[in-house]
Chains A and B, each alone.
Chain A
Amino acid sequence: MRDSKHAIEINNLTKFFGDLQALDNVSFSVKRGDFFAFLGPNGAGKTTTINALTGLSNFKSGEIKIFGYNTRTEYVRTRPLVGLCAQEFNFDPFLTIYQILVYQAGYFGILPGEAARRADALLERFQLTSKRNVKHRALSGGMKKRLLLCRALIHDPEILILDEPTSGCDLELKFLIWDYLTQLNQEGKTIFLTTHYMEEAEKLCKTIGIINHGRIVRIGEKKEVLRDKSLETVFLEVTGNE
């Protein structure tokens, strides 16, 4: 890993879907070890930015660097550094949840013994051990959310990207996830979080970025962005939804 002070650097990122411009010269950076909230209304460009970051989406122009490595030309180096907890439940239907984790570790080059150890530890941490040998269809919504997190963490990434990780979760699970994310951040992991829950962003994050219509409309440290207002007020001001 390069000695870069930024975990993520995005420069002039532009993305079109047909004629629709989804991202318009988006530029920002996320410091190493930061807890970054990436907020915006539906369709603002949050998931598109995440997809571009993780290589799940092509983009017309711009550049993305992960710890100094270019995601286009050095993708084999950038991918182990990033773990993605996606919004949708996209699990392999042929595998049990234990196999999902072990295979995912294998894709990242982790040998079977170590993969098994990590899978067991994560299942234990997220209280899924009793469901180890069932397929994902047998899990409740909250359990699937936890499985998404386990899968994102199986290769011990430096950056964890979470796309609305607590949507649809009950309070107990929400607190479990918050505690775990805070702990990971304290251990030095960079967290990139998108959420529609303002209190979640306000409580957990150190830095906040707001995107609207494919443009960054506000970004900075939490104090700077809030200036004695609530995040909800600031969000409504800058997205024009007041």
Chain B
Amino acid sequence: MVVNPVGVLTLTKREIYRFLTVATQTIFPPLISSVLFMYIFGVAIGSRIDFSVTGLSYLGFIIPGLMTMHLISSSYENTTSSLFIARWHNHIQEVLLAPLSYFEMVLGLLAGGVARGFIVCLSVYLVSLPFAPIPIDHPIVLLYFMIMVSVIFSCAGMISALWAEDFNMLNVWNIYCILPLVLMGGVFHPITMLPNIVQKFSRFNPMFYMVNGIRYSITGISDTSILFCAGLSFLLAVSFFFFTVYLFKIGYKLRS
């Protein structure tokens, strides 16, 4: 329960202010890389790929994938860098000394990650319009998946920021775990294009269900049960959130 709404809003505002002051590192790079992906893979190469099996153009297929990929990376990177820098400079004490419950602390930090994820994800959609003007089929479903995915990865970012001892460890999870799983989760290809054995493994990849949920909400086409995607995302979001609150409560690497 939130008993200090001004405190939570202040923390959220501070988080948003932080990433906006460094927009050249936080907002613009994913947009530039998305435009390049769309041009190279969608326009230059994609026009030569027979993709009729999915019912979509190749460009129409990768745009929701790119949106998900940047939603994940932006949410994750926001909380990772913000919390880790706060630990590194020890100005995390400003928050730890305040009358905010651990639930509220996580909520405020999380809101910054969600906000950055939303801004980047929707901006990727906007810059995709000149390449392929795809209307959003299910905006409410899109909102649901955007919230769930950004909550999961904002919390994952906080867990990573608490775990990391130095800058070297900060991106370990992102580079060696999250990014490969996202790319193998069907950002650029339907998993039905993969060999049977790899397809089976892909069914255990949670990113597949997140990419699929967002792709469904935009195009109306899904590779698997959308209810399962929604349920799994919800379960993961709740689990990650409460695990992060627990780490704050025990003071994991926050209190000596």
Which residues of A approach B to under 8 Å, CB–CB? Answer: 17, 48, 51, 54-58, 75-77, 79-80, 82, 84, 86, 88, 90-95, 100, 103-104, 106-111, 151
Give the segment of B85-93, B170-178, B202-210 that binds chain A.
B85-93
> What 7 pairs across the A-B complex have the smallest Cβ distances?
A106-B10, A107-B98, A90-B90, A79-B99, A109-B6, A92-B91, A57-B256
Output the least CB separation between B70 and chain A (Å): 23
Decide: B256 and A110 in contact? CB cutoff 8 A: no
| In the complex, B100 has a CB within 8 A of chain A | yes
A109 to chain B: which residues have CB within 8 Å?
4, 6-7, 99
| In the complex, B97 has a CB within 8 A of chain A | yes
Decide: A106 and B89 in contact? CB cutoff 8 A: no
Taking residues whose C-beta sits less than 8 angstroms from the other chain, chain B's interface range is: 20 to 34
* Shortest Cβ distance from A92 into B: residue: B91
Decide: A51 and B98 in contact? CB cutoff 8 A: no
Decide: A104 and B94 in contact? CB cutoff 8 A: yes
* Shortest Cβ distance from B4 into A: residue: A109
Neighbour of A108 across the interface among B3, B13, B86, B98, CB < 8 A: B98
- The count of A-to-B residue pairs whose CB atoms sit within 8 angstroms is 86
CA distance A86 to B97 in the complex (A): 11
Decide: B98 and A90 in contact? CB cutoff 8 A: no
Decide: B94 and A80 in contact? CB cutoff 8 A: no
Decide: B7 and A108 in contact? CB cutoff 8 A: yes
| In the complex, B11 has a CB within 8 A of chain A | yes
A100 to chain B: which residues have CB within 8 Å?
94
Decide: A90 and B99 in contact? CB cutoff 8 A: no
| In the complex, B219 has a CB within 8 A of chain A | no
Neighbour of A58 across the interface among B6, B7, B85, B255, CB < 8 A: B255
Give 10 new A-B contacts, CB below 8 A, not counting A90-B94, A109-B4: A48-B256, A57-B255, A58-B255, A90-B93, A91-B89, A92-B14, A104-B94, A107-B94, A107-B95, A107-B98
A92 to chain B: which residues have CB within 8 Å?
14, 86, 89, 91, 94
